[in-house]
Homo-oligomer: A and B are copies of this chain.
C-alpha cells in the first residue's frame, strides 16, 4: 500500500499530500521551505520526502508550477503515528496507543509495517508533522521580509496566513475510492452504510457524521410508521395528537442518550475514545502583540481576553440581536401576506386563489434560507474578527451564533402560529411547506450545483489531455490528476451537514405531533441525504484530511438543548389541545397548573434518565478500566524496579527553564 510509485512526473515515492504555493513565490522561499521539510528531525526539520510536480501534458500557459508532493518513509510514518498518539488494535483485542517499540504486538502489523497505516492515517500524520514544523532562528520568511517569524512559530501556518500557501490537501486513492463508492451509494440497498470503510478513507470525524445520520434515520422509523396511519385516518381530527406528543417527548430523550452510547462504541472501535488530545496550536488567522504564553513559556502573539469580550458583547451580541429582530419582522410581513392571500381566496375562491394560499409560505421558506445564508457570512466574519486563539473556541462561538439565529429564523413562525394564534390547520400547512421547500433547496445547493460545476471542470481536463494523447480507460496521468484535484472545491467540514440535521430534528421533535407525516418526510430526506452526501464526498469535493473525533462534539449539546425544548413544547401543545381542554372545561387555571407540574416532572425525569444511563456501554467501560489498571500496575512495578537507583531522573518530565530558554533563542 505504501510502495514507492514511479511515474511520468518523476516521483520516486508514494505521494500522499499536495502542497500548493502561489505561482509567483520567490525561489528563495521555496528552497528554504523544501529544505526545512526535508531536514532530519535532529536539526528541527520534518524529515519528509518532497518533490515538485512536473508540468501538465497540455501546455504551461496558466499552470501553477509551484505544486509539491509530500510523502515519507515507512519508518518516519510509524514514528509519526506515535507522535500523534494513534490507537491501534493490540494482540489481546484491546485498543492501545501505538508505539514503535512494541509494534510487533499490534494485530495488523506484518513485515515492515507498510500496510499497517491506512492512507488517511498517513496523510493525517504528514499534515501533523508539517503543521508542527517550527521556525528556529529565522526572523522572517526568507524572501519575504514582511512575513515575520519567531522561534516556535509554525511555518506552514505563517505561510497560510500570509497567503503564500494556497492549500494543503491529501491525494485521493482512485482504486479505493471506486470500491468505497460502489458499496456506499452506487447500489440502492437496505443494509447499513460501510462506516468502517468510510472511516478508513475519510477519518473518524466524517464517519461519525454518517453514523449519526444513519442512526437518526433509523430512530425516526418508528415515528414514521406510527405517523402514516395517523395521517391517513385522523387527518381531519385535529384533537388526537396527545398520544403522539407523549411519544415524541419520550423519543427525543431516549434517542440522544442511546446515541451517546453508540458514539462511544464507534469511537472505541476506531481508537479515538481514549486518545489524548494534542496540545492545540493557535489558529492560522490569530494575531496579537508578541509576548510569552503563560502555558508553554514560548514567545507567541497574545491577545487580551478583555478586548475579545468587548468585541463579543459590544458588537457581536448587538449584531445577533438585530438580526433576530429583522427575522421576526420578516415573519410579521409573512403573516400579513398570508392574511391577504386568505382574504383574497375567501372573497372569490377559484383554483388559482387556492394555489395562491401556498405562495406566501413558499416565499417565506425561500426567504428563510436566503437569510440563513447571508447571516452565515456575517457570523463567520464576526467570529473571525473576534480573534479567537484556538480553532475550537472559534468553532464554539460560530456554532452558538448560527444556531440561535437559525433556530429563531426557522421556528419562530411555527411557535407564533401554535401558541399565539393557536391555529392547528395553519401550523400543519406552514410546517409542511417549510419542511418540503427547505429540503428541496438544500439538496439543490448542497450536491447538484457543485456537481454540475465539477463535471464541467473534469470534462475540460480530459479534453485537454486528449488533445495530446489518447487516454486508456479514462485514467489521467498523475500530474493532471493532482491538478484536477487541486481545482476541486474544498469540503468545509461537517458544520452545514449537522446544522441541517439539527433543524430537521427540530421540526420532528417540536411539532411533528400535529403533522405526523413530518417524520416520513424527514426519513425520505435523510435517505436521499445519505446518498447525496456520499456522492458529494466521493465526486465533488477534494479529499479532506481525516479528523480524529471522539464524538459529535458541540452538536451533542445542541441536540440536547433542542430535546429539552421539545419536552416543553410538546407539553404546551398537549396543554392547548382541544382534547385536554375539554377535560378541564371548568377551570383553565387548573389546566395550566397541571400542565406546568407535569412538564416539570418530565424535565426532572429527563435529567435523571440522562444521569442514570451510562454514557459508555459496559463492555467498553470494562476494557477502558482494564487498560487503566494495567498501566497503574506497570507504573508500580517500574517504580519498585527503579527504587533508589534513579537511572532515569523523572525531572525530565519537566522541561527546565534553561531548556526552555535554549529553545527560544
Contact = CB atoms under 8 A, between A and B. Distances in A.
Interface of A: 41, 79, 82-83, 90, 92, 96, 99-102, 105, 278-279, 294-297, 568, 588-589, 592-593, 596, 600, 622, 625-626, 628-634, 636-640, 642-644, 646, 648-655, 657
A568 B653 contact: no
Nearest to A79: B643
A538 B332 CA distance: 71
B650 A102 contact: yes
A296 B629 contact: yes
A96 B626 contact: no
A101 B654 contact: no
A100 B644 contact: yes
Given A295-B622, A629-B296, A642 B278 contact: no
Given A588-B589, A640-B41, A634 B652 contact: yes
Given A297-B626, A633-B655, A634-B655, 10 more contacts: A83-B639, A101-B646, A101-B650, A102-B649, A105-B651, A279-B628, A296-B626, A592-B592, A634-B653, A637-B655
B646 A100 contact: yes
Contacts of A83: 636, 639
A329 to B, nearest CB: 22
A72 to B, nearest CB: 15
A643 B83 CA distance: 11
Contacts of A655: 630, 633-634, 637
A594 to B, nearest CB: 11
Nearest to A595: B596
A625 B277 CA distance: 12
A650 B103 CA distance: 10
Contacts of A650: 99, 101-102
Contacts of A634: 652-655
12 contacts: A41-B640, A79-B639, A90-B654, A92-B657, A101-B650, A294-B622, A295-B629, A296-B626, A589-B589, A630-B654, A633-B655, A638-B652
A96 B654 contact: yes
Contacts of A622: 294-295
A638 to B, nearest CB: 7
Nearest to A611: B557
Contacts of A626: 294-297
Given A92-B657, A101-B646, A652 B640 contact: no
Nearest to A619: B294
A596 B597 CA distance: 10
Contacts of A90: 654
Nearest to A625: B295
Pick the 7 closest A-B CB pairs, nearest first.
A101-B646, A102-B651, A295-B625, A99-B650, A101-B650, A634-B653, A295-B626
A634 B634 CA distance: 19
Contacts of A297: 626
A651 to B, nearest CB: 4
A207 to B, nearest CB: 27
A613 to B, nearest CB: 14
A652 B631 CA distance: 9
A289 to B, nearest CB: 18
- Of A92, A101, A593, A637, the most chain B CB neighbours within 10 A belong to A101
A82 B640 CA distance: 10
Contacts of A101: 642, 646, 648-651
Contacts of A637: 652, 655
B592 A279 contact: no
Contacts of A96: 654
A250 to B, nearest CB: 20
A600 B569 CA distance: 12
A278 B596 contact: no
A593 B649 CA distance: 68
Contacts of A651: 101-102, 105
A648 B99 CA distance: 12
Nearest to A618: B305
Nearest to A636: B83
A100 to B, nearest CB: 7
Contact of A279 (B296, B632, B642, B646): B632
Nearest to A104: B651
Contacts of A41: 640
A100 B96 CA distance: 29
A82 B639 CA distance: 9
A279 B632 CA distance: 8
A302 to B, nearest CB: 13
B589 A632 contact: no
Contacts of A642: 101
Nearest to A75: B644
A501 B287 CA distance: 49
B568 A600 contact: yes
A650 B635 CA distance: 11
A401 to B, nearest CB: 15
A92 B659 CA distance: 14
Contact of A653 (B295, B631, B640): B631
A648 to B, nearest CB: 8
A373 to B, nearest CB: 28
Contacts of A99: 650
A630 B663 CA distance: 13
A279 B596 contact: no
Contacts of A102: 646, 649-651
A657 B626 CA distance: 12
Contacts of A636: 83
Nearest to A599: B596
A626 B630 CA distance: 27
- Of A92, A294, A644, the most chain B CB neighbours within 10 A belong to A294
A102 B649 CA distance: 7
A143 to B, nearest CB: 30
A419 to B, nearest CB: 10
A47 B445 CA distance: 73
Contacts of A643: 79, 100
